Structures are given as C-alpha cells and as structure tokens.
Amino acid sequence: MGDRKPYPSDVTDAQWALIGPFLRAWKAKRVSVSGHQGDYDLREIVNAILYQNRTGCQWAYLPHDLPPKSATYYYFALWRDDGTDQAIHDLLRCQAREKAGRTEDPTAVVLDSQSVRAANHVPAATTGKDAGKKVSGRKRALAVDTLGLVIAVVVTAASVTDNAIGIRLLDTVVERAPTVTRAWVDAGFKQDLALHGAVLGVDVEVVKRSDTRPGFVPVRKRWIVEQTYGTLMLHRRLVREYESRPESAVSRTLWASMVTIVRRLTGTSTPSWRHR
C-alpha cells in the first residue's frame, strides 16, 4: 500500500495474512521466462478489485493511487478464468466453518435466486426478462450453508426459470460439496428440482412463506440466504449487472463473499458512513 491513504475497502494486515499466502503460491507457479515478477503488488491488485466491488465505479474511474485498469483487469480475468478466485474462496470458507465449530463441508444448503437489472452495455445474448418480477437482466442464484456462507453461485439470463437455474445450482453444490444431503428452497422451485435432487442424493424441501401474518416475517430455514443477499448488496457492483460475461458476475460475487469470510475470521468490519 506504500504511503497512500487507505480506503475503507482495503484488506487489513490480518486479512491479507489469510489471502496473501494463496496468491503468493499462485505467483510462484507462474514465473516468467525472463524472471519478471510484475510491476504491481498483488495486495494492491486485490485492494483495487475490492474498491471497485464496493463502490461500483467503472474501470476507468479507479483512483490513481491504485493499480490501473490494465493491471487490475488482467489479474481479475486471469484469476476468474483459472479458478483462483473460487479456490481461495472455498478454502477460506472451510476455515470459517472450522472456526464456527463446524466440519469443513456442509451437509445442508439453502437455495434462492434474485433478478438484477442489467446495464445497457451488457450483451442481449446473455440477458432476458424475468416475467414474474418484470426485471430485464440476469439472475444471480446462490446456495449457502446454514452459516450463510456461499457454497455455489450461478448467473444466467433473467428469463431462465427458477427450476432450471436451481438444477444447475444443485449440480454445482454437489460438485463443490459432495457432503450435502439436504436443500431448502422456496415455492418458486418446482417438482423437477426435487426429482433432480433425489438423483443426486439430496433431499429438496420447499419451505413456504406464511400468508397469515402481516408485514415482514423471516421464513424458517430460508432467512439465512436472504441475509446473505442483503450483505452482498453492500457491494454496489452487484446491485446492477455491469459485467459483459456471466463468469465475471460470478467472480464479483465470490470476491464480495470473500470479504465477509475474512471479516468473520479476523473479527473486523468496514466503517460505515455513520462512523465519524
């Protein structure tokens, strides 16, 4: 970070102690023939990604005291395509579960999806309209464990049905956490998902919302995934769909989730606008 004034989104020393070893090991495997190590510190690259995630700024509007777009996007895309972001996220999640007194891999998950409006530059080929919610853009679907930690992310056009996206999400869950045997979903997911879950060895249970109590009522089992969505929405880059590729949208979600995980592991939080 050098002598620059830190941003609230910067990783702390304790948080970098968790993320840094993974990226240093990644970099050690990618030594160039010329021996060039790169012009930018990887910690600053991560700070730039997290700054953009938190503020929602465009690439060209990254502050001048952070690495430029060319370097930041290079690493963002590289880590997205080679699965480094997913690997780091999953390893940190295992640590967070162990700290909470749980096993590394969960046995139960909660599934849900949200429709997000797309910016005008997002390709029409990867977007659609959610007829039920009247939203044109993409759907972001999450599977979280009972601690609210993200297990799987799937991003599709908003026109894709919850049932179809749920099947893709459940396939990803089983791939990432084969120990899962139970999944809770809302009424938007139909019988096809339950049948697909049975084939995979996962018992899918629909938890319906109560119509007898007025106002907002947290739904048993399902409230945890809603809480996770609320936390992710603090990252303005996720409030609207800006990414040209769905894979980039998945990576953005993983980086936002990583912020939550390292805060749990280090007991830190980001100052809000209420702090003087």
- Reported as a single tens digit per residue, the pLDDT across 177-196 is 999 999 999 878 888 999 99
pLDDT surpassing 60 at residue 275: no
- Distances from the Cα of 42 to the Cα of 88, 128, 228, angstroms: 14, 36, 27
* Residue 30, C-beta contacts closer than 8 angstroms, at least 6 positions apart: none
Q: Is the residue at 151 inside a domain?
A: yes
Q: Is the residue at 47 inside a domain?
A: no
- Distances from the Cα of 93 to the Cα of 15, 20, 150, angstroms: 14, 15, 8
Structure-block tokens of residue 56: 């929602």
Kindly report, residue by residue over 130-179, the tens digit of the pLDDT.
Answer: 988 899 999 999 999 999 999 999 999 999 999 999 999 999 999 999 99
Q: Is the residue at 88 inside a domain?
A: no
Q: Is the residue at 29 inside a domain?
A: no
CA-CA distance, 274 to 18, in Å (whole number)? 28
- Distances from the Cα of 160 to the Cα of 137, 154, 167, 168, 188, angstroms: 11, 11, 11, 11, 12
Altogether, the residues listed in the chain come to a count of: 276
**Which phi and psi angles does 204 have, rounded to 5°?**
-95, 120
Per-residue pLDDT at 208: 75
Kindly report, residue by residue over 8-42, the tens digit of the pLDDT.
Answer: 999 999 999 999 999 999 998 877 655 556 678 99
Q: Is the residue at 25 inside a domain?
A: no
- Distances from the Cα of 43 to the Cα of 59, 71, 259, angstroms: 18, 12, 14
Per-residue pLDDT at 190: 80
Q: Is 7 helix (H, G, I), strand (E, B) or coil?
A: coil
Q: Is the residue at 2 inside a domain?
A: no
User: Residue 112 is inside which H or E element, if any?
Assistant: strand 108-117
- Distances from the Cα of 175 to the Cα of 18, 168, 250, 251, angstroms: 25, 11, 16, 17
Q: What range defines the domain where residue 133 resides?
A: 104-240
> Average model confidence (pLDDT) for the chain?
90
CATH number of 145's domain: 3.30.420.10
Looking at the 3D structure of the chain, how many domains does it have? Answer: 1
Q: Is the residue at 48 inside a domain?
A: no
pLDDT surpassing 80 at residue 214: no
Q: Is the residue at 10 inside a domain?
A: no
